Structure formats: structure tokens, C-alpha cells
Amino acid sequence: MATKVTAKAGALTAQNEKQQEKPTPQKMSDFLASPKTQEWMMNSIGDKKEVQKFVSSILSATSTNIELQSCERNSVISAALLAQSLNMSLSPQLGLCYLVPFKSKAKYDKEGNLVKEESKTATFVLGYKGYIQLAIRSGYYKNIGVCEVREGELKSVNPFTGDIELEAIKDENAREKAPVIGYYAFLRLVNGFEKGIYWSYEKMLSHANKYSAAFNAEIFKQINAGKIPEKDMWKYSSFWYKDFDAMAMKTLIRQLIGKWGIMSIDMQKAYENDIQEEENTLKSASGVSFVDIESTDFEGAQASENLNVAADAETGEIIRGEATADE
């Protein structure tokens, strides 16, 4: 056992030395402006103005999330191309879609030999507003939406027929003060088909705890109970912590469209990509630290601009590293 530990320690030391020898990554702006990258983008996109918009969208996304600036450049381009192919803006303010950094830890065999180096890649993730926009564009939907359900608004749910009876609180101020007890998504197709689904708050909490490696339900309960000091809140940057309701609505609208909706080609592409990324996260959760759509804190991005931040895959806690230079 001691021999194996020593071997692994030696491999780690060798890896650290190798990492120290690596040159400073090229700035994102310089990479995008390089003749080789410009030529590649022109061949892929085909229009100079569209290339300029494409570059601007990448710079906008990477400027608000410091972790993206250290991702493998090709992965950033590939993820952004998917957004471009769907005609989706990467602007954080719109919330249609996001570039999300995933950090895969180095892997070793039983003898401590390095099998795969540590890497950080960017991936494309669609927000709930993006799902709704794609549905509207398809022309199949007469109406589609998702919202929170407040205490006192749910009258009945029939688990056999799927019938849901809701009655909204008419006083808007009173409704805003009432606690959220669940979420409701609905669609109405142009052919007359209608469907709605309801998930309780507890069911959504359980779903997030199971499928988001950057989220921990117990920690979330402690945060809501005021048991986590404000000075420690920077550790929990998952968007499930920051805006649970927004993430819950995305989850429910995806469930609704996936099971009951009609998907255009663009919708299928976005949906399959979303599912694949979720499956990849589950398969490699023990070896991945990441900031998912759930973890991009846009309002706090400038404050943490010079921090090297990574998420603990088991607890969702964000670990502060050494300062990194702006790229």
C-alpha cells in the first residue's frame, strides 16, 4: 500500500512540475483574433458580420465568468457554435442559454500512473427562457409557459388523469408574499392539444439534489434557515442556490416538452444536448468539479474576477484557489 501511495504522490509531483512548465494560456480575445481562428470561423459561419457577432457573444460570456477564460479554447468555440446554430444569444442578461465550465480532475491507475490529465472544458446549456423561445419559433405552440405555485393556489391534483386545479391569488402583493409550494408548466398546441404538469417544491428539491452535482439539499436548507454566514456564501455559487425557482422552472418546462410537446429540429438538438450533459455529469460526478448553469453568478462575476474558483462535486461547495490573471 505504501508503495502505491508513494507512486501516486510521485505522479502528482510530476504532474505539478509539468503544469508549472506550461506556458500562460493565450488570452481569449487574442485567440479569437488570430488569423487561424478567424479563418476557421469564417469557414464555419460564412458571414463576416455573423462572425463579429459570434466573437462578441463569446467575449461577453467569458468576461462575466472567469472560469470560462481558462477552458480549452476549442470547447468554448464548439459550445458557442451550438448557441449560434440555434440563433440564441449568450448574453447573461437575457438568460436564454449559457456557456458552462466543467473541470475534470486528473485520473490515475492503481499504480498511481497518470491516465488522464486535468482538463477544463466549456459546454452549452439552455435556460428555461431558451426552451420557451424555441417552442414559440417552431409554430406548433399556441401558448406555453411555466410559473411558481403559491400557498393556497393549488386546489387538487389527480395523479391518475393528470388533471390539475389551480386558482391564482388575485392580490399581486399578497401572492408575492405567499411561500412557493410547487411549480406548474403548461402547453397548448395549435391543433388544440393541452397539457399541464405540477411538481411540488419537495419533489423539485429532491430532483436538484440527485441530478446537480454542484447542489446539496441539506446545505440549501441551512442557507434558507440563515445558518450559513454571509461571509461564506461565496462558496455556494450554484444557480440552484442563487435562483432555485428559475432552475426549477427550466427543469419542469423541459420535462413537459420532452414528454408531451412537439419538437422542432432545433428543439431536438437543444434537448438532446441538455440531456447528454446531465448524463455526463452523473457518470463522472466523482471526478468533476464544475460550475453549471446553476452556478454562474453573473451579478458577482466582477467581484470574483481575479479568483480561481472550483466546485466540490460532492457538496457543491466552491473552493477558492490562487488568484489568476485576467485573460
Mean pLDDT value across the chain: 79
The pLDDT score that the predictor gives to residue 278 is 67
User: Are residues 174 and 65 part of one domain?
Assistant: no
Interval 221-274: pLDDT, tens: 999 999 999 888 877 867 789 889 999 999 999 999 999 999 988 888 888 888
> Which residues in the chain belong to E strands, given as ranges?
97-104, 107-108, 114-116, 119-126, 141-150, 154-157, 164-166, 180-189, 194-200, 288-290, 309-311, 318-320
Stretch 55-81: mean pLDDT: 88
Q: Residue 190 is part of which domain span?
A: 133-264
164-207 residue pLDDT tens: 999 999 999 999 999 999 999 999 999 999 999 999 999 999 99
- Using CB atoms within 10 A of its CB, is residue 128 exposed (0-12), middle (13-18) or buried (19+)? buried
Taking the mean position of all CA atoms in its chain, how far away is CA 50?
25
Question: Is 55 domain-assigned?
Answer: yes
pLDDT of residue 296: 34
> How many structural domains does the chain have?
2
Based on the fold, state whether residues 7 and 106 are members of the same structural domain: yes
Q: Are 120 and 69 within 8 A, CB to CB?
A: no
pLDDT of residue 156: 96
- The pTM for the full model equals 0.69
- Which range is least confidently modeled, 286-290, 312-316, 321-325? 321-325
215, 243 Cβ separation under 8 angstroms: no
* Residue 66 binned pLDDT confidence (cut-offs 50, 70, 90): confident
Half-sphere exposure of 221 (CA within 13 A, CB side): 9
Residue 325 lies inside a defined structural domain of this protein? no
Has residue 152 got a pLDDT over 90? yes
The last residue of one of the domains, among 249, 264, 279, is 264
Write out the three cell numbers for 22: 506550461
Q: Based on the domain organization, do 112 and 184 belong to the same domain?
A: no
Query: Does residue 74 sit in the same domain as residue 37?
Result: yes
C-alpha atoms less than 13 angstroms from C-alpha of 238 in its C-beta half-sphere: 30
225 shares a domain with 203: yes
- Of the candidates 216, 249, 264, which is a domain's last residue? 264
pLDDT at residue 318, as a whole number: 37
Q: Identify whether residues 288 and 312 lie together within a single domain.
A: yes
Domain assignment present for residue 326? The answer is no
Residue 22: pLDDT over 90: no
**Overall average pLDDT of the 62-76 stretch:** 86
Task: Point out which residues pair with 311 in neighbouring strands.
Answer: 318
Question: According to the model, what pLDDT value does residue 23 have?
Answer: 53
